[in-house]
Amino acid sequence: VASDYPICLAAYNNGHLHGAWIEATSPDEVRDKIRAMLAASPEPDGDEWAIHDYEGFEGARLSEYASFETVCALAAFIAEHGALGAKLYRNFGDDITQAEAAFEDYAGSYHSAADFAEELIRDSGTEIPAALDYYIDWTALARDMALNGEIMVFQTGFDEVHIFWSR
């Protein structure tokens, strides 16, 4: 569950830490909870807020002034795609639209990028003579595909990578 910790800037600027952990559900719900937090501020007229902490976003970054819509959209995206979603989000410069669109080019999950390259070649119908089979460097082929911009590789575990075709 992704949450953020917005604080009252009026209280913060006067030496008081006043905020609340708020679950990133819907923009309207977050807005209402921030209004309630500001209303309970020890400083009168507290109407400005900033996000000073967050958790559950799998390493994705949030601006301290991110909109309610941005926070909730990112939370939903991370809830659906986990650490892989966070890596994509960072890869695309914190642009959730591009991160979401990348899934249109998802090639799958593999133990390694080399496994992907080998499966791709074998499934293409290319005949590899048995005498040469052990000489093919699938790791180098996968590395070259990534360096040439054909694929993007995201590692999410010791033996788990996710491959996306590059646009």
Give the model confidence (pLDDT) of 30-74 as tens digits. Answer: 999 999 999 999 998 889 999 999 999 999 999 999 999 999 999
The structural domains of the chain, ordered by start, are 3-94 (no CATH), 104-165 (1.10.10.1190)
Under a CB-based contact definition with an 8 Å cutoff, are residues 154 and 110 in contact?
A: no
Q: Which residues contact 26 (CB under 8 A, 6 or more apart)?
A: 72
- φ and ψ of 52, to 5 deg: -105, -5
Instruction: From residue 104, give the alpha-carbon distance in Å to each of 23, 97, 101, 154, 164.
Output: 29, 12, 6, 15, 9
Residue 1 has pLDDT above 80, yes or no: no
What letter represents residue 36's amino acid? Answer: A
Give the model confidence (pLDDT) of 96-114 as tens digits. Answer: 999 999 999 999 999 999 9
User: What average pLDDT does the structure give for the chain?
Assistant: 95
Instruction: From residue 10, give the alpha-carbon distance in Å to each of 7, 52, 53.
Output: 9, 14, 17
